[in-house]
Amino acid sequence: MSTNAPISDKPESVKSDSTKWLIALALLAVGLIAFYSFAGHSLLVRVVFLLGMVGASVFFALQTEKGRDTVNFLREAQIEVRKVVWPSRQETLQTTAIVALMVVLVALFIWMLDSLLFWLVRLLTGQGS
């Protein structure tokens, strides 16, 4: 029995993505090496060249499947951030005050518990006179 299932082009896409990642890394490496190799030249020229190489590297990285997934993730995250309902200034101040009050109350409770336990240990060990 023969099936006419389509042959997956996954290995070719993986090979293509690997090549693009290698190109991106090579461009980044060339930019960094050139930046430090030409230390005697103008800093502005070196920075512009480095930024150009980083931009080219990012361009090649975004052409891969993982790069496209990253862009999609960032777009979806931006959409979700737009949906967030931020608290008003009054709500923020009230919540901050409640948290600060609770921190002080818990600190006092722990201090009293520590003092009580310290007193009990001193009493039981005979160190308190």
Average pLDDT value for residue range 10-35 = 87
Check residue 38 and give its pLDDT.
92
* Exposure letters 98-124 (e unless 16+ CB within 10 A, then b): eeeeeeeeeeeeeeeeeeeeeeeeeee
Residue 69 is predicted with a pLDDT of 93
- Would the pLDDT of 21 be above 70? yes
Per the prediction, the chain carries an average pLDDT of: 90
Of the pLDDT bands very low, low, confident and very high (cuts 50, 70, 90), residue 11 is low
CB 38 within 8 A of CB 57: no
| 66 contacts 17 by C-beta, under 8 angstroms | yes
CA distance 93 to 100: 10
pLDDT digits (tens, 9 = 90+) for 45-102: 999 999 999 999 999 999 999 999 999 999 999 999 999 999 999 999 999 999 999 9
**What does the pLDDT read at residue 5?**
52
Return the pLDDT at 127: 84
Q: Give the model's pLDDT for residue 93.
A: 97
**Rounded distance, CA 115 to CA 13, Å?**
67
- Supply 68's token pair: 């496209």
